[in-house]
Amino acid sequence: MRDVFIAPEQLADSRRAGVFRCGGEVAQAAVTAATQQRFTAASLDLAEADHAGLFSGFAAALRFPEWFGANWDALADCLGDLSWLEAPGYLLVLRDASNLHRRLGTADFDTLIEILNEAAAGWREQGVPFWILLENGPSNLPTIVR
């Protein structure tokens, strides 16, 4: 795909936000910048995540409400709401995503990426930056570079 340069101060631009792959150094710089801008910044370790670990990881990282049903529809609902985490913007780093595609399978991995893209688009329409960075994610995603 394409490489995208994002300077830390550009995180506040909701028009640029979305789903990207990056390296660990870029992810850490983004977390630091997002925190300085008072974003809700969360990290989810995917090194060994399966379906259950993925859903519970999202729930823990973003403090999902108790009604979260640990399925794709519930994930989409929670990512599109986040009213319990009011912030000027959001950054979620999915750490060690290199083997996630293999562990989830193509169909479920594609569903995850679709849900993340839809959430980012929904927040973009509201003028709220919503960034999802897949650390060492698949090469078919646009890559953030420094």
The fold for domain 3-145 equals Barnase; Chain D (3.30.370)
Mean pLDDT of the chain: 90
How far CA 68 is from CA of 34, 80, 89, 102, 121, in Å, comes to: 26, 13, 21, 25, 21
Length of the chain: 146
Q: Indicate the domain borders of the chain.
A: 3-145
The predicted-structure confidence for 20-44, as pLDDT tens digits, reads as follows 999 888 888 899 989 999 999 999 9
State residue 33 phi and psi, 5-degree precision: -65, -40
Claim: this prediction has a pTM higher than 0.85: yes
What span, in angstroms and rounded, lies between the C-alpha atoms of 33 and 27? Answer: 10
Which token pair is 108? 């479920």
